Structure 1
Amino acid sequence: MGVAASVSVRQIRRWEKESPPPLPHPGQQLVLETMFGIPLVEMGFEVPPHRVTAPEAPGDPGGVKAPGDPGGVKRRTFVADAGVLAAAALVPARPGPRVGAADIARLRVRLDGLYRTDHTAGSGPAMTQAHRIEGEITGALGTASYTSRIGRELQTMLAELHGHQAWYGYDGGRIDQGRTACVEALTAAQLVDDPLLQVSVLETLVLLAIKAGRTWEAASAVENAYRLAMRAGAGHTVYLVIALRDANVATHTGDLSGARRALSRAVSHQGRADADAEVPNWARFVGPFEVDYATADMYVRAGRPERAVPFLRAAARGIGGGLARNSASYRVRLADVLLAAGEVDEACAEVGGVLDTWGGISSPRLLGKMRDFQRAAGAIDSPAARECAARIHETV
């Protein structure tokens, strides 16, 4: 409405309880009469003559009339959503549409759906969906009218979206693009002052930094994630994710004692994760299978593939059915280690199981792993290995 008027809880209580109630100032009068469609005097206020609302103009289809007007009082349409009324006082008038809670709910459903798309179909289709959602969010932020609360929700979702895109950069081997998305996500998360959202971005940054050969950056990201989690009073599941990233850094740098300590913390947090009252969406993927996989990774790095095999088997068998991409990735990793340990038939059987349920998963990282196995199997003089390599070529 373009009216600079606000009302405190204390003032409303005085209006309700005192007799006569204190007179609203002119700006408040305009808002109240517009909302309720009746003049101030009919709300129980003592209004001086110069503040009594003038009669409506002939033919005016709505609004308030002065007391005693023979036409009676015609009520305006009551605006039930107070947030819509507040919007004009919170953001400048814009020519674009108004964004409200219903729009936020629809965007939230689509944003949360990115997890399902990525886990089942891969990062390729998820990236396409993410681009569409990003266009809608940035368009709303730039041109629409909304309350400050809605604006914060939009910015929070934009931070989450950039976090998704950072992961897609990692999964797709586009490390520079992933790091750029991390910067965007961290900036947006800092602007809305959401420490747990920053943790979610930092755990992806750890993986990207390791791939980029920037282990000092990965270690710094882990330290900052611990600090932010403490500030937010995070639960055990969040600390479990951070401990696993800590183990990733230590394993990559060859610090096997550091990796063991990080994995010990991860096991401790995993055992207490059921006590978490609430778990962020981005941390819900984690489970015992992630701990097993990280433990196997440590043994492979230590040159003990035979010790890694049982942990990889446990990870591949323990992962949930809704995580198709990760499940396939774990099984191919298990096949790699089995092949290195001389268990050719079992390795090819694992890859065969992945191919049976391949279903066109669009994940460049998984595709790269599969092709690496194809090359390794093709170099082995074994009927099972040759048949497996040929099937990978035909299927993938």
Structure 2
Amino acid sequence: MSGPQPHRALPPELLASPEWREACRRRDFTRVFRLAKVKAGIYPSRIAALCGMTPSRVGEIMSGRRSLAHIDVIERVADGLRIPGAMLGLAHRPWEIPSPVGVQEPAPQLQSESEVGSEAGSSGSLDDLLALADGQVTRSTLTALRSSVEDYWRRDDQHGGAALRPAVVGHLRYVTQLMRTTDDTLRRDLHSLAAELARLAGWAYFDARQYSTARAYFTQALSLSRSYGDRLFMANVLSCMSLQATYDGHPADAVALACKAQDTARTVGDQPLVMSMLNMREAFAHAALRDAVACHAAIGRSRDAYERARGQEDEAPTWVRYFDETKLIVDTGIALARLGEATRAEPLIAEGLRREKTDQQRGRAFHAFWLATTQLQQGKIDAACTSAGLALDLSASIDSPRVAGHVHEFQRRLTPHAGERPVIAFEQRMREVLG
């Protein structure tokens, strides 16, 4: 059976129209499909054939009864309708990059630690060619790239990191190529940007629960930061790896990584806010091991370090400033919840949720899940289902397999209470939201 037939390019006037660009930027596929029909004459059955979807699903999307969030499907739509990747926040699509006649490009590959600083994949990508042709990096180039990284982190907070992976990896390859073509004066800054992009790529794959790939990118970030001597950023990457090890069922490794991160940070001098965050990562790992004594000791060290950091937050690295008093409170509650100390954990997590900004949707979804967990541990079925319902509603607007996994995990814990009214209502709502 043959695949979808190739589609010619969309009309230039449609691609250039503000209405189309805004629909793509928002990933409003209801509007995208309607515009494709009205402005380009591509009817639903044709859209379905081009994008590898069923006509009924396309109809549901066009009527607004269904949305698209999974990155693989979004990439299929981009390829089927020939929507340039940048319009949808994706890396350049393969069909946007002309291949040399008679030469087959190798598939892009993740750099191993030993390959950092070398070419990150195919030499024929548009970004690579532009970098090679220019060969110049200015301060304004660095400012623009840093702005992109800041925007990626903001979007990660608001909508989850899974959908960002192609764009982040594309930027990482671009910056890595620039490192090979620029002079020494800006190379350190490019190394710093590449390390941050590699950490962000690792985080995005971690959020997608693709732990092996995440670890490879974290390793790349660690190697890059070591190459230009930023030991505080090395501690930051080690802390990410510690958190992943906790999630991946390797809590002993998580403890070792968190302690190594602390040792690395100490070589730089007194960094109380960094140490507060790193001790909390250690507390998470001890909680996963059910080592209450070690967990409480790490929480105490985190709290003490935070008190020393008060008034000095502006002196801390920008990447750790998210760790404020609200984060300290809610993370303490989560560590206690992991230990099974639900009575002490519940008010802390509830207070953290009350304080959190409404645009931090993924964080709020996680914390609502943990609040529901503590309430379920105490037998508060009605309250637990209400809190889990908040996590469920928030998860509908973000692309985070980690959040979805937590919601499903909570639903499994409800099995002993399957006949109770709050549980029946929650599971019905779960079917409506997650399908």
TM-score (norm. length: structure 1): 0.71
- Map 1:1-396 to 2 at 5 A: 95-142=133-180, 144=181, 146-276=182-312, 277-377=314-414, 379-396=417-434
For 2:397 and 2:352, how far apart are their aligned partners in 1? 22
Distance 1:188 1:295, change over 3 A: same
Q: Is the Cα–Cα contact under 8 Å of residues 288 and 318 in structure 1 kept in the other structure? A: no
> What is the percentage of aligned positions where both structures have the same residue?
23
For 2:392 and 2:252, how far apart are their aligned partners in 1? 38
Q: Is the Cα–Cα contact under 8 Å of residues 256 and 298 in structure 1 kept in the other structure? A: no
User: Hey, what does 1:25 align to over in structure 2?
Assistant: none
The one-letter code matched in structure 1 to 2:189 is E
For 1:147 and 1:184, how far apart are their aligned partners in 2? 22
For 1:197 and 1:340, how far apart are their aligned partners in 2? 37
For 2:401 and 2:338, how far apart are their aligned partners in 1? 23
For 1:319 and 1:373, how far apart are their aligned partners in 2? 22
For 2:353 and 2:216, how far apart are their aligned partners in 1? 32
User: Hey, what does 1:72 align to over in structure 2?
Assistant: none
- 1:355 Cα offset (Å): 4.2
For 1:212 and 1:126, how far apart are their aligned partners in 2? 21
Q: Secondary structure at the match of 2:310?
A: helix
Distance 1:133 1:269, change over 3 A: same
Q: Is the Cα–Cα contact under 8 Å of residues 165 and 201 in structure 2 kept in the other structure? A: yes
For 1:381 and 1:360, how far apart are their aligned partners in 2? 29
- 1:96 Cα offset (Å): 4.0
For 1:102 and 1:344, how far apart are their aligned partners in 2? 55
Q: Secondary structure at the match of 1:348?
A: helix
- Segment drifting more, 296-305 vs 110-119: 296-305
Structure 1 gap ranges (5+):
1-93
Distance 1:322 1:148, change over 3 A: farther
- 1:268 Cα offset (Å): 1.4
For 1:217 and 1:374, how far apart are their aligned partners in 2? 29
- 1:377 Cα offset (Å): 3.9
Q: Is the Cα–Cα contact under 8 Å of residues 392 and 407 in structure 2 kept in the other structure? A: no
For 2:347 and 2:253, how far apart are their aligned partners in 1? 32
- 1:233 Cα offset (Å): 2.4
- 1:164 Cα offset (Å): 1.4
- 1:234 Cα offset (Å): 4.5
- 1:357 Cα offset (Å): 4.4
> Structure 1, residues 181-214: CA drift from partner, whole Å, max 9, x if none?
1211111000010011101101001112233444
For 1:222 and 1:354, how far apart are their aligned partners in 2? 28
Q: Is the Cα–Cα contact under 8 Å of residues 375 and 389 in structure 1 kept in the other structure? A: no
The one-letter code matched in structure 1 to 2:187 is G
The one-letter code matched in structure 2 to 1:313 is A
User: Hey, what does 1:88 align to over in structure 2?
Assistant: none
Q: Is the Cα–Cα contact under 8 Å of residues 286 and 294 in structure 2 kept in the other structure? A: yes
Q: Is the Cα–Cα contact under 8 Å of residues 111 and 133 in structure 1 kept in the other structure? A: no
Structure 2 gap ranges (5+):
1-131
For 1:170 and 1:139, how far apart are their aligned partners in 2? 25
Q: Secondary structure at the match of 1:223?
A: helix
For 1:307 and 1:330, how far apart are their aligned partners in 2? 15
Structure of larger gyration radius: 1
Matched pairs, number: 302
Q: Is the Cα–Cα contact under 8 Å of residues 292 and 339 in structure 2 kept in the other structure? A: yes
For 2:304 and 2:136, how far apart are their aligned partners in 1? 48
- 1:292 Cα offset (Å): 2.9
For 1:202 and 1:259, how far apart are their aligned partners in 2? 19
For 1:154 and 1:295, how far apart are their aligned partners in 2? 36
Distance 1:229 1:120, change over 3 A: same
> Structure 1, residues 87-126: CA drift from partner, whole Å, max 9, x if none?
xxxxxxx654311111111101001212101100101123
For 2:304 and 2:240, how far apart are their aligned partners in 1? 22
The one-letter code matched in structure 2 to 1:321 is T
Q: Is the Cα–Cα contact under 8 Å of residues 205 and 213 in structure 2 kept in the other structure? A: yes
